[in-house]
Structure 1
Amino acid sequence: MGMTALQNHQKWIREELDRSIQFWLKNGMDPVHGGVYTCLDRQGQVFSTDKSVWMQGRCAWTFAYLCHVYGVKEEWLSASRSCLDFMEKYCINREAGNRMYFTVTADGKPLRQRRYCFSEGFYAIANAEYYGVTGERECLERARAAYELIWQLNQGLIEDPTGLGPKTIPATRTGRALANPMIYLNITSVLRRVDPEQEELYSQRAAQCVDEIFRYHYKPELGCTLESVGPNGEFRSEVTEGRVVNPGHDIECSWFLMEDANYRGNKQQHATAVKIFDQAIEAGWDKEYGGLLYFIDCLGRPPEAYEHDMKLWWPHDEILIASLMIYRDTGEQKYLDWFEKTLDYCKKYFSDPEYGDWYGYLRRDGKPTMPPCKGSTFKGPFHLPRMLIMCDQMLTQLLEQK
């Protein structure tokens, strides 16, 4: 790969990042109540004023991370602070052990509580990143407290103070979800970067997350990494839940693992992470229409999720990060080929230069679901800008090597 091609990729990525950030600053930020609206149509009009708590944390992290990478801009820092303040004021259930809500109204009234700890996770990385930029110690303490709460809950060390309990009746079926260790590993990487005082704790926790992923979820004999397994990693082939593979999740997990492996200098871990990527993209890439399928069944049986053959924006973001990371780390051409193949697909189907940002949801043939949207309860300024920032940085590293 010559310098010109890499430079062209970087030029497009930087332009796309600017379009995405401007889209969300112009259309998403709430000047009345604070925080961010994420249910936006193609042009950026709000179609629902309910606010996703995940997105308040993710948006706060994104704008603080922009400041970390490119230098502080007041509009970025203000957007991050607005989401942080909104979460602090409205999104924490103080009567339930500081568990966080899943959705709230525009003015912050609680709507829905979920058993999962992802609201707390995104709150943790948002506060940590903001601390890393500003040095505000209170934000670090909030991040540390949420980080510990998630650990206690995920490891079963405390009862969930919401009283919601597990998803299934434990006497009938219990198990493990890949999302818990992989997301906690990513949270750990952010806190470890900004909070070296607790490096030993973060490295211990990261090592345990890696062990759980490899020990229980990674199934080389099946050629996949499973979303859901039994308590000891059992493959539950008799139920659809036990056979579910989310290729985009696996690919995201692969770069979380590579990032940690690079930090620790663990070549074996890195090599296994590359295998996870290889298996996921081989199984999930749509040979007929291109793009990555949302869900597949590891035994080739019908997936239960009706949206299984849709193409979502975020798995393609994860391919771009992971493939470029592997190419940077190994120099193997096939991973640059995957990066370019995916980039071409995203330019053709997801990108919207006219209005900015990416369509969130495509049909299998690449056409946007109608009417198209740029945001939802689950899509906001996170996966796309994170990918664009990280790929910009990696392309700079590659160009410096030329």
Structure 2
Amino acid sequence: MNELNALELLKKQVPEMESELVRILNFWSTTAVDDGFGGFVGQVDHWGKTNPRALKGVVLNARILWTFSAAYKHLGNEQYRSLAARAFDYLLNYFWDVENGGLIWSVDFEGHPLNTRKQAYAQGFGIYAFSEYFRATGNKESLVFAKKLYEILESKFKDKTNGGYLEALDASWNRMEDMRLSLKDDNSPKSMNTHLHILEPYTNLYRVSPDEKLKQNISDLLSIFSDKIIDRETGHFNLFFDDDWTVQSTMVSYGHDIEGAWLMNEAAMEIDDNQLIQPIQGIALKMVDATVREAMTADGSIYYEKEGDHLDKDRHWWPQAEAMVGLTDAWQISGDESYLQLAGKTWDFIQQNLLDREHGEWFWSIRDDGKPNDKEDKAGFWKCPYHNTRALIEIIHRLAKQ
């Protein structure tokens, strides 16, 4: 199969991708809307049953704002603009710390503060959401809040001695003993995940409001990834670090590797730094190749993660989505048709296995025996419409340009 055929084969599936995008958005437009207490519900289980009294997390709500903003920009549906406005209002009214600034971690179902800690990761997603809402609608207040969060990350979280950003601070910006993003994470002061999701929103903020200081911040982050976070020998991210960037973990996260590959390339391209683009693209290709070699199966799906000799073979929803973009990006960098063919296989796997056509959205994961994991949620603190909608929009846009 030559490149044209590989491209045309995937292009023929764009209508299916558009249809799936709308199907996902329909789930979040109906099942996930909280008509009783405002905003969006904090939990929808595997079977589509909502929990109206579930706590609400800032990451989920920021990702919902990003999603409906991006969907409105892509499709022009006024319902999506209205839902983006709903998410924007809820973030500002319930998650914004009026006294100290920044976004708190969680509220109860009525919007009362539960956990007022400030995760750098959450401030990053706030920037990503607010900048996308401005990009889609021109709402100037949203850009103001995106820039406020940017200044908070630079003034409160930045490690001016060793570089990079700390994981978490308390409500008054004091350092905390427990900085973990989630219970499964190591309690380290710095992580790959947080830095990836600072790079991502900084790139989006630069897209709508470029300036030299922000450009330098993005360049510095790319240098941190290149020099501190990536293991050049294996082509994997290291995940957790001490203050001085001493590595504190051995786990490999395949989804983050292939997501990070395209996000780093996106950042280098957006700031148009000719000294960075070529080396970053070389690293990106090495990371994609490592993921394909170690984690991709014959059906186009990728395993979740590896710790020592233990390989977690579950196919979680979000690494499959990110694999589609990472592989397509690798094809655009290299011109190698095999990447595009693999992206098509991943899309086939998603359609055949991850889509819940009865209850909506995507399953959390498919176990190695091929059955859906029914113990995890459709919507929750971490299950959101950001990875899958973004992947579909990215692929549709990239194919349209070819």
TM-score normalised to structure 2 length: 0.86
- Residue 252 (str. 1) matches residue 259 (str. 2): yes
Counterpart in 2 of 1:5? 9
Could you give the per-residue CA deviations for residues 200-233 of structure 1, whole angstroms, max 9, x where no partner exists? 1221111011011111111122342211234444
Please state how far the C-alpha of 1:114 moved relative to its aligned partner. Answer: 4.3
Are the equivalent residues in 2 in contact too, given 1:247–1:281 (CA < 8 A)? no
- Residue 207 (str. 1) matches residue 219 (str. 2): yes
d(CA) in 1 for partners of 2:94, 2:88: 10
Instruction: Give 1:1-400 correspondences, 5 Å limit.
Output: 1-2=4-5, 4-42=8-46, 44-47=48-51, 49-71=54-76, 73-95=77-99, 97-156=100-159, 160=170, 161=172, 163=174, 165-167=176-178, 176-196=190-210, 199-236=211-248, 242-263=249-270, 264=272, 265=274, 266-286=277-297, 291-297=301-307, 300-302=308-310, 308-370=312-374, 373-398=377-402
Are the equivalent residues in 2 in contact too, given 1:254–1:276 (CA < 8 A)? yes
In structure 1, runs of 5+ residues without a counterpart are: 237-241
Q: Which amino acid in 2 is paired with 1:185?
A: L
- Percent identity of equivalent pairs: 24
Could you give the per-residue CA deviations for residues 32-70 of structure 1, whole angstroms, max 9, x where no partner exists? 432212522345331353222111111111111122233
d(CA) in 2 for partners of 1:384, 1:391: 11
d(CA) in 2 for partners of 1:74, 1:340: 31
Are the equivalent residues in 2 in contact too, given 1:258–1:269 (CA < 8 A)? yes
d(CA) in 1 for partners of 2:188, 2:17: 43
CA shift in 2, pair 1:34/1:12, >3 Å: same
Q: Which amino acid in 1 is paired with 2:202?
A: T
d(CA) in 2 for partners of 1:351, 1:17: 11
Secondary structure of 1:118 counterpart: helix
Pick which of 202-211 and 44-53 moved more: 44-53
Pick which of 26-35 and 384-393 moved more: 26-35
Are the equivalent residues in 1 in contact too, given 2:179–2:189 (CA < 8 A)? no
Are the equivalent residues in 1 in contact too, given 2:39–2:87 (CA < 8 A)? yes
d(CA) in 2 for partners of 1:86, 1:46: 19
Are the equivalent residues in 1 in contact too, given 2:105–2:118 (CA < 8 A)? no
In structure 2, runs of 5+ residues without a counterpart are: 161-165, 181-186
Are the equivalent residues in 2 in contact too, given 1:361–1:373 (CA < 8 A)? no
Please state how far the C-alpha of 1:301 moved relative to its aligned partner. Answer: 3.2
Could you give the per-residue CA deviations for residues 86-144 of structure 1, whole angstroms, max 9, x where no partner exists? 1111112334x224222212220122244522222222222222222332322111110
Are the equivalent residues in 2 in contact too, given 1:154–1:180 (CA < 8 A)? no
d(CA) in 2 for partners of 1:154, 1:323: 33
Q: Which amino acid in 2 is paired with 1:101?
A: I
Are the equivalent residues in 1 in contact too, given 2:300–2:345 (CA < 8 A)? no
Could you give the per-residue CA deviations for residues 360-383 of structure 1, whole angstroms, max 9, x where no partner exists? 133232311125642221012211
d(CA) in 2 for partners of 1:329, 1:372: 36
How big is the alpha-carbon RMSD for the aligned residues of Structure 1 and Structure 2?
2.5
Are the equivalent residues in 2 in contact too, given 1:19–1:357 (CA < 8 A)? yes
